[in-house]
Amino acid sequence: MLRAGKGFCVGKSSVLAAAARLAGIPARPGYADVRNHLTSKRLQDHIGDTFYWHSYTELFIDGKWIKCTPAFDKALCERAKIAPLEFDGIADSLFHPFDAAGHRHMEYLSDRGAFADVPFATIVADFRKFYPKLVAASPSAASFRDEVTT
């Protein structure tokens, strides 16, 4: 992901967790199943509107675990007409449920919890099950492994 200069939430969360750990901040990746009501047509064609294993990062700050979502950059937020998420180190920073116009944006369906590391094999197995078009379009599982562990 770092070499490519792009990625999706699983890779971004694992990089944030690794960087935080290097800085001495306990961190771990967390996962939830979410419904993205503003997904692009291209992504909708590949995976639908439910994102299984959406990833966020938990950081241990001042004695408590705080959720942080490092998925959308400012440019993507502007295109989607949603406010960038702010992280203050005090409150969870998860996707906004609505966009600027009041349309449904991100709906959290279930929280899978936090893990010590990326549960790679489980995520790949579920992606094969839930996203057969996406997996078929991917060159290999190795490219996904590079995406989430680099």
**Which among 27, 21, 23, 34 has a CA at the least distance from the CA of 114?**
27
What DSSP letter does each residue of 44-85 carry, written as one string? HHHH-SEEEEEEEEEEEETTEEEEE-----HHHHHHHT-PPP
- Domain holding 125, by residue range, is 9-145
Write out the two tokens for 118.
Answer: 């990326």
Is residue 32 included in any domain, yes or no? Answer: yes
Write out the H or E segment, with its range, that includes residue 107: strand 106-114
Is residue 150 included in any domain, yes or no? Answer: no
Is residue 4 included in any domain, yes or no? Answer: no
Is residue 1 included in any domain, yes or no? Answer: no
Q: Tens digit of pLDDT for each residue in 2-12?
A: 677 767 788 89
Q: How confident is the model at residue 144, as a pLDDT?
A: 47
125-138 burial, b if ≥16 CB within 10 A, otherwise e? eebeebbeebbeee
Write out the two tokens for 68.
Answer: 């942080």
Is residue 2 included in any domain, yes or no? Answer: no
Instruction: Provide the domain count of the chain.
Output: 1
Is residue 3 included in any domain, yes or no? Answer: no
Q: How confident is the model at residue 2, as a pLDDT?
A: 64
Q: How confident is the model at residue 148, as a pLDDT?
A: 43
Q: Tens digit of pLDDT for each residue in 11-57?
A: 899 999 999 999 999 999 999 999 887 777 777 877 888 999 999 99
Q: Collapse the DSSP code of 2 into the 3-class scheme (helix H, G, I; strand E, B; otherwise coil) and give the result.
A: coil
CB atoms within 10 A of CB 119: 16
Is residue 73 included in any domain, yes or no? Answer: yes
Is residue 53 included in any domain, yes or no? Answer: yes
Window from 23-32, 36-45, 65-74, 136-145 with minimum mean pLDDT? 136-145
**pTM, whole model, 2 decimals?**
0.80
Do the Cβ atoms of 58 and 28 come closer than 8 Å? Answer: yes
